[in-house]
């Protein structure tokens, strides 16, 4: 199913500065897999070597943190918006 993916802030460079990426995926894990096919290194920037989400990365499905849903296996519906952000610390 078609979903919309947005990387916000400095993390946008991971997907070549693209504002919005439309792709087909059934789960968050599927989104990351598809993105990694298009943009080299996405998996490394988002996931630990063992496949878990980096602790400074948050992924939101329609503004809800996937850590409080079904994690990377969170299922997607057509038209969903997936937002990816990173912790930042500048002041």
Partner 1 sequence: MVSPPKADKQLDWYNRYARHIALEEVGESGQEALNRASVLIVGTGGLGSPAAFYLTAAGVGTLGLVDYDNVSLNNLQRQLLHGTSDVGRPKVHSALETLNEINPEVNIHTCQEKVTPESIWDLVSGYDLVVDASDNFATRFLINDVCVQAGRPLVFGAVLQFSGQVTTFTREDDCGCYRCLFPEAPAPQYVPTCEQAGIFGAIPGIIGTLQAAEALKLILGRSGHEVGSTLKNRLLLYDGKESSFRTVKLSKNPGCPVCADPAFDFRRVNYSDTCALEGSPPIPLESLSSTDLSLSAEAAKP
Q: By CB under 8 A, name the binding residues for partner 1.
A: 8-10, 19, 45, 48, 50-56, 58, 60, 63-65, 67-73, 83, 85-91
23 sits in which H/E element: strand 21-24
Tell the smallest beta-carbon distance from residue 31 to partner 1 (Å): 15
- 10 contact partners, CB below 8 Å, separation of at least 6: 86, 88
Q: How far apart are CA 12 and CA 84, in angstroms?
A: 9
Residues 6+ positions from 21 with CB-CB distance below 8 Å = 4, 5, 6, 15, 35, 38
Q: How far is the CB of 74 from partner 1 (least distance, A)?
A: 9
Looking at the Cβ atoms of 19 and 22, the one nearer to partner 1 is 19
Shortest distance in whole angstroms from residue 60 CB to partner 1: 5
For partner 1, which is the closer residue by CB, 24 or 48? 48
């Amino acid at each position: 199913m078609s979903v919309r993916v947005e990387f916000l802030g400095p993390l946008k460079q991971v997907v070549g500065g693209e504002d919005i990426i439309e792709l087909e995926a059934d789960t968050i894990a599927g989104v990351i897999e598809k993105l990694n096919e298009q943009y080299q290194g996405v998996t490394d920037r988002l996931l630990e070597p063992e496949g878990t989400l980096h602790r400074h990365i948050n992924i939101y499905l329609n503004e809800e943190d996937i850590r409080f849903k079904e994690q990377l296996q969170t299922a997607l519906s057509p038209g969903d918006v997936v937002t990816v952000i990173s912790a930042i610390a500048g002041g």
